[in-house]
Structure 1
Amino acid sequence: MLSDSLYALRKRLAVPYTSIQLSILGLLGGIVAACLIVLFRLSIEFVQFSFSPSGAFGDISPYLIPSLPILAAVLIVVVADFTGFRHYRLGIPFVLHRVKAHYGNMPLGNAINQFIGGILALSSGFSVGREGPSVHIGASGSSWLGHWLRLPHNAVRTLTSCGIAAGISASFNTPLAAVIFVMEVVLREYKIHIFIPVMLASSAGSIITQAVFGPQVEFAYMSVFNLPINHYPFLILLGMTLGASAFIFNTNLMRMMRTFRHVSMFPRLLIAGIITALFGYFVPEALGDGTSAINQAMLSPTDTQLIIILLFSKLILTWVALGLGIPGGIIGPVFGLGLLLGLCIANIVMIFDPSLHFMSTYGVLGMAGLMASCLHAPLAALVAVVELTGSSEAITPAIIVIVSSYITSAQVLKNRSIFLQQLEYQQLAFQTPPVIDVLSKTGVLAEMKTNINLIEYRTEQDVRFHLKQAKDEEIVIVSIKHDLGTDYSLAETEPTFTGDVSKIKYTPLQTLNTRSTMAHVYEILEEQRDGAALITSISGEKVVGIVLWEQLHSILMKRNALA
């Protein structure tokens, strides 16, 4: 029967080990997420091409540009009002919170806001990246698959991670960077049983996006060369500059968010739309996710006046858009700002070595260094720029820049990941106690005892009879029905030393369904440090097992084996 097969599947997925079932589901989740991202990208292109034949903001009529971000801001508020303003927590920080604190279960209202709001923001010129909506939408699509199948929560968390990887891969065609981003930023750990399905999901995202948009990489036109050793001192200077810039960027972005925290949503977004419209009228190349600024800067890499104007405009527009709550990501603008900073340093280097063919290399290194310092994701930044440029020539210089940038930012200036700062600002939990972290990886289906004898309470003598007749290790559960439902208790015989008839100890039991994890059991038994939790079917109509407090201790003792 189908129900029996699904039960066997759920029981297998409750165990935190690599399995073909989890791998297949990860692949399916990646396909669902990738299809949603393709729809998202096609929607953005449809809107953009309806205003401009080339899709570039610089080709849109200067009289039309100011109206786009203002109109988009109004429509974003309308959508938020329709879905409920409580569902307006979006983007990567919100996804990090849901993965860590809610096993990756994603609310539908937030996903709708992210999908429509992301299309409006990106197609109208706000300085936000598409990776934020891609992560949120991908996570939602894959999470819904797990919720539809009613999988254990630990498996849903893995599926959500698969959706995140597929979303990034489908958005930028960077499958390896997507996998590393999930492990380095989202999960912050490397577990093989998660690694395998995430890799499959990421590959699915890359294949699907190549089938729709072609095999080209985002910045393949940027020539990257392996720099000679005499440039390495300049690379350290570049890294230190990027580290300081990351500190300035993160600090002022958070300052912008705190300054307007008491302003209601509509005036906040309207202010963002007006400022974006004003800058867009004079510097249309600064609009969008950073691609326009990168393209314009690479056409004239030695035009320092243009680069400084783009840098200043892009910086202000990004602070305004993200700080005032426009739905979008941070990585796209960070790439644009990093490239512009890299070109600034490259123009200084040209005084000592007038080699024009090194300009784009410094731009790429700037992208890697600023991303690593702002997000605290050095490995993901390194792999991302390699995949985005389709070249591995600059790996060694990139490592030098990323290391010097990261150390300057994190150690010297005490800069923290912008995602963690946003989580703290929004008062969203991200860190969990180690014991919860360990137990949340195992579902109750994997550990529960099924040798139970469920009886309905009639008399004390009847309970005593069943305890005496119980087989080895059989657990007797007593149910008492009343108007409000059914109460369950664990019945045990208490030994006596006086020769009297032994007493019966009744321990009240709280119930959890089969989707729960051992962390849920710990949370309800933590206070008394004893007892058990009764496991019921998802509907709650059938008792299927029990988890004892002693089992939690056993799992914690072998936690190093959970891989």
Structure 2
Amino acid sequence: MSAIHTAKNRPAAAQKTPIGLPPSRRLTDLRSAPWGLPVLAVVVGAGAGAGSIVFRWCITTFTHLFSGHGDYAASPGSGNPHVPWLGPYFVLIAPVLGGLLYGPLVYRFAREARGHGVPEVMVAVAQRGGRISPKVAVVKTLASALTIGSGGSVGREGPIVQIGSTLGSTLGRLAKVPEGRMKLLVACGAAGGIAATFNAPLAGVFFAMELILGTFSTEAFGAAVLASVTASVIGRAAFGDVAFLSLPDFHVDHLAQYGLFAALGVVAALVGVGFSRILYLIEDACDWLWRGPEWLRPAVGGLALGLVLLALPEMYGVGYPVLQKATEGGYAVGFLLLLLAGKMLATSLTIGIGGSGGVFAPSLFIGAMLGAAYGIGAHDLLPGTAGAVGAYALVGMGAVFAGASRAPITAVVILFELTGEYSIILPLMLAIVLATATSRVLSRDTVYTLKLRRRGIDIEGPARGARLGAQRVDAVMEPLPSSLSWSTPLPDAADLLSLSGHGALPVADEAGAYAGVVTAQAVAEALAEQPDAVPTQVGRLAERPAPVTADQSLAQALNTLLAAAGTGVPVLDHAHGEPVGWLSHQSALRAVHTAGA
């Protein structure tokens, strides 16, 4: 008893403590400590790398099962050794059998696994705080592998982006991280998936920044790099450190070639936008024609896909061997254009009947066919100037993807990494930038955002049912506070800012026109740096925030308001660009109270 009594009364410092921190404390540190995000990013990258291995193995397994080949596109038109008596006609049955398997799977367990995947991740980040159901990873892996293995003419980047992003979201939920970090972990999963699958760590990072997050920051970039590098190491250990395509060295020998590449960029934009429109046009046609249960749609639609594969077996699966042969000049112009049109039809039909797979690889395929045909034509017209056909195929790949997705940085980096070909970088950049600019003129949406807009989802607007965001700015803005004149001394400006109740005030130039906004923080910093100097005019500190116009929706204006340095931003008249009101955080929240009253 005395021993027990002594132990109870021993000072706390002298008592033996358990090794390590309690689980709750460790979890709190993981959520808030500076090292928490890097650790989580590495874990997500490792998960995405492992997921890519499983996904690639599933694709190979199902392709062997349905076609009897490792990649049927490498030997198009041959028979299936499992059923040799069918000869090449087995392609009529393979998509039907695949549809019978993945159709019920997607319909029963995760309908968001249907389609090409990236738009679902984009809307999850933009409107759902990065929350994605964990079961999506499993369903997407199986459904996409079955689709590709049974002949679906889609890519593997969309599925692996959705798989990796789901892993990031699931880990974020388990660690109970705040919403901002949850979105970063989703982007880390996307970066890791692209990096491991395509052996393209830089492209994975920029894909996540440009398409998933839609913004760049030091924290996000660092986390995405950690995830991408981790996934790449795992991917290279499994698949080897080899380039996507093996191409000879290319050189631009004549300045006139830059004009040819520039023209190719414009043409590629037309093809990229056209691919997006055809994709959803055929999906609409499939929706209009089908009247049966959704789970049966892929199997019945597989008959139509089988007819396309019978006529053009090069469309089976992703089609990388066909793409490789096109860059080597292995096809005539007429057949290249046939392959281009066939890929648009086969991919659109695969997605339209309910298949699961990406549109990135098909856009590369289409671009390679376009570029190779363009290069052959240029070489026939200008044999001493045009240069190698393969260079045009490579540039066409990046330009069509840029025209469809409007992600120029990703397009440049991923084509460089997938091919390991640096000598073509200048023509590639020129064509991709022109393709992106032309695409922006031709279409409001990309191949990803168009899918969402057709559902009534605007990722720049409020989520469905949100109480904040649908209102117009002019309905919720406050009266415009008095402007500071350009020549107001800093001490006077500090007094006026302190009395205004705003953390920022508009500034007018000598003619009375709007010149920008000055914040209390900027004035305080200027006074602290030169306390004894002659007062500086406040106009020199004025900066123009991103414009908020009276006719905008509040959801669009909120992005500018949240990024502003002060507590509010001026609301400009759309016609003349002059301030007509003031939007603050309080006025935005007041809109919620008004809507609920």
Q: TM-score of the superposition, structure 2-length normalised?
A: 0.68
* Structure 1 equivalent of residue 563 of structure 2: none
Q: Choose which of 35, 52, 66 in structure 2 pairs with 1:37.
A: 52
Q: Is the 8 A contact 2:94 2:150 kept in 1?
A: yes
* Structure 1 equivalent of residue 183 of structure 2: 157
Superposition RMSD on alpha carbons, in Å? Answer: 2.9
Task: Report matched runs for 1:6-45 at 5 Å.
Answer: 6-12=27-33, 19-45=34-60
* Structure 2 equivalent of residue 111 of structure 1: 137
Task: Report matched runs for 1:224-303 at 5 Å.
Answer: 224-226=250-252, 228-261=254-287, 263=290, 264-266=293-295, 268-301=297-330, 303=332
Letter in 2 for 1:359: V
Q: Is the 8 A contact 1:88 1:113 kept in 2?
A: no
Q: Is the 8 A contact 2:165 2:188 kept in 1?
A: yes
- 1:210 and 2:236 correspond: yes
Q: Is the 8 A contact 1:290 1:335 kept in 2?
A: no
Residue 157 (structure 1) shift: 1.4
* Structure 1 equivalent of residue 415 of structure 2: 385
Secondary structure of 1:307's counterpart equals helix
What's the CA shift string for 1:16-35, capped at 9, x where partnerless? Answer: xxx32211211111101111
Alignment partners' CA distance in 2, 1:181 and 1:84: 24
* Structure 2 equivalent of residue 194 of structure 1: 220
Structure 1 window deviating more from structure 2 (102-111 vs 128-137): it is: 102-111
- 1:132 and 2:158 correspond: yes
* Structure 2 equivalent of residue 48 of structure 1: 63
- 1:121 and 2:147 correspond: yes
1:117–1:224 CA distance, 2 compared to 1 (3 A): farther
Alignment partners' CA distance in 1, 2:424 and 2:246: 14
* Structure 2 equivalent of residue 447 of structure 1: none
Q: Is the 8 A contact 1:40 1:119 kept in 2?
A: yes
How many pairs does the alignment contain? 438
Alignment partners' CA distance in 1, 2:235 and 2:110: 32
Which consecutive unaligned segments of at least 5 residues does structure 2 have?
A: 1-21, 80-87, 469-554, 559-583, 590-597
- 1:71 and 2:97 correspond: yes
- 1:410 and 2:426 correspond: no
* Structure 2 equivalent of residue 57 of structure 1: 73
1:79–1:99 CA distance, 2 compared to 1 (3 A): same
Q: Is the 8 A contact 1:100 1:430 kept in 2?
A: yes
Alignment partners' CA distance in 1, 2:236 and 2:38: 22
Task: Report matched runs for 1:513-552 at 5 Å.
Answer: none
Alignment partners' CA distance in 2, 1:391 and 1:380: 15
1:222–1:143 CA distance, 2 compared to 1 (3 A): farther
Residue 139 (structure 1) shift: 0.6
Residue 407 (structure 1) shift: 2.2
Q: Is the 8 A contact 1:83 1:113 kept in 2?
A: yes
* Structure 1 equivalent of residue 23 of structure 2: 2
Alignment partners' CA distance in 2, 1:44 and 1:5: 39
What's the CA shift string for 1:120-166, capped at 9, x where partnerless? Answer: 01112211110010000001112211212222222221111100100
* Structure 1 equivalent of residue 363 of structure 2: 334
Secondary structure of 1:63's counterpart equals helix
* Structure 1 equivalent of residue 394 of structure 2: 364
- 1:184 and 2:184 correspond: no
Alignment partners' CA distance in 2, 1:279 and 1:299: 25
1:63–1:346 CA distance, 2 compared to 1 (3 A): same
Alignment partners' CA distance in 2, 1:223 and 1:318: 31
Q: Is the 8 A contact 1:158 1:194 kept in 2?
A: yes
Residue 224 (structure 1) shift: 3.7
Q: Is the 8 A contact 2:100 2:296 kept in 1?
A: no
Alignment partners' CA distance in 1, 2:70 and 2:61: 11
Alignment partners' CA distance in 2, 1:170 and 1:32: 10
Q: TM-score of the superposition, structure 1-length normalised?
A: 0.72
Secondary structure of 1:392's counterpart equals coil
Q: Choose which of 354, 359, 375 in structure 1 pairs with 2:383.
A: 354
Task: Report matched runs for 1:346-495 at 5 Å.
Answer: 346-354=375-383, 358-411=388-441, 413-432=442-461
Secondary structure of 1:259's counterpart equals helix
- 1:144 and 2:170 correspond: yes
Q: Choose which of 334, 337, 342 in structure 2 pairs with 1:313.
A: 342
Alignment partners' CA distance in 1, 2:232 and 2:110: 34
Letter in 2 for 1:11: S
Letter in 1 for 2:254: P
1:266–1:44 CA distance, 2 compared to 1 (3 A): same
Task: Report matched runs for 1:488-503 at 5 Å.
Answer: none
1:95–1:239 CA distance, 2 compared to 1 (3 A): same
1:88–1:193 CA distance, 2 compared to 1 (3 A): same
Q: Is the 8 A contact 1:172 1:218 kept in 2?
A: yes
What's the CA shift string for 1:348-406, capped at 9, x where partnerless? Answer: 11123337961111000000100001001011001111001101111110122112222
* Structure 2 equivalent of residue 489 of structure 1: none
Alignment partners' CA distance in 2, 1:175 and 1:4: 34
1:322–1:223 CA distance, 2 compared to 1 (3 A): farther
What's the CA shift string for 1:242-267, capped at 9, x where partnerless? Answer: 11112211122222223333535245
Alignment partners' CA distance in 2, 1:210 and 1:143: 24
Secondary structure of 1:261's counterpart equals helix
Letter in 2 for 1:400: L
Q: Is the 8 A contact 1:334 1:367 kept in 2?
A: yes
Secondary structure of 1:35's counterpart equals helix
Alignment partners' CA distance in 1, 2:116 and 2:273: 23
Letter in 1 for 2:357: G
1:305–1:84 CA distance, 2 compared to 1 (3 A): closer
Letter in 2 for 1:35: A
Secondary structure of 1:105's counterpart equals coil
What's the CA shift string for 1:62-108, capped at 9, x where partnerless? Answer: 13222211111111112124426576576000111111112222113
Alignment partners' CA distance in 1, 2:431 and 2:300: 36
